[in-house]
Amino acid sequence: MKKLKYKGDRIRLDKYLAENLKNFSRSKIQKFIREKKILVNSNFVKSNYVLNDDDNVKVLDFEEGKEFQAENIDVEILYEDKDFMVVNKPAGIVVHVGEGGRHATGTLMHALLDKIDKDAGPRERLGIVHRLDKDTSGVLIVAKTKFGYDYFVKLFKERKIKKYYVALLYGKPLHDEGIIDSPIGRNLKQRKKMGITAESEGKKAVSRYRVLENFNYENKVLSLVEVDILTGRTHQIRVHMQAIDCPVVGDKAYGNKKVNSIFEKDFLLKRQFLHAEKVVFEHPKTGKKMNIKADLSIDLKNVLKKLKL
Domain ranges of the chain: 2-59, 67-158, 162-277+293-309
User: Which residues are catalytically annotated?
Assistant: 133
Three-state SS across 60-120?
Answer: CCCCCCCCCCCCCCCCEEEEECCCEEEEEECCCCCCCCCCCCCCCCCCHHHHHHHHCCCCC
Taking the whole predicted model, whether its pTM rises above 0.85 is answered as: no
Does domain 67-158 fall into CATH 3.30.2350.10? yes
CATH classification (class only), 2-59: alpha beta
H or E element in which residue 147 lies: helix 146-157
Each of the 309 residues of the chain gets a pLDDT tens digit; together they read: 455 655 667 788 888 888 887 667 778 788 888 878 788 887 888 888 888 877 888 877 555 455 678 899 999 999 999 999 999 999 999 998 865 456 678 899 999 999 999 999 987 889 999 999 999 999 999 999 999 999 999 999 999 999 999 999 999 999 999 999 999 988 776 767 888 887 777 889 999 999 999 999 989 999 999 999 999 898 999 999 999 999 999 999 999 999 999 999 999 999 999 999 999 999 999 999 999 999 999 999 999 999 998
Identical fold at 2-59 and 162-277+293-309?
no
**Alpha carbon distances (Å) from 58 to 32, 52, 61:** 12, 15, 10
- CATH fold, domain 162-277+293-309, is Pseudouridine synthase (3.30.2350)
Radius of gyration of the chain (CA): 22
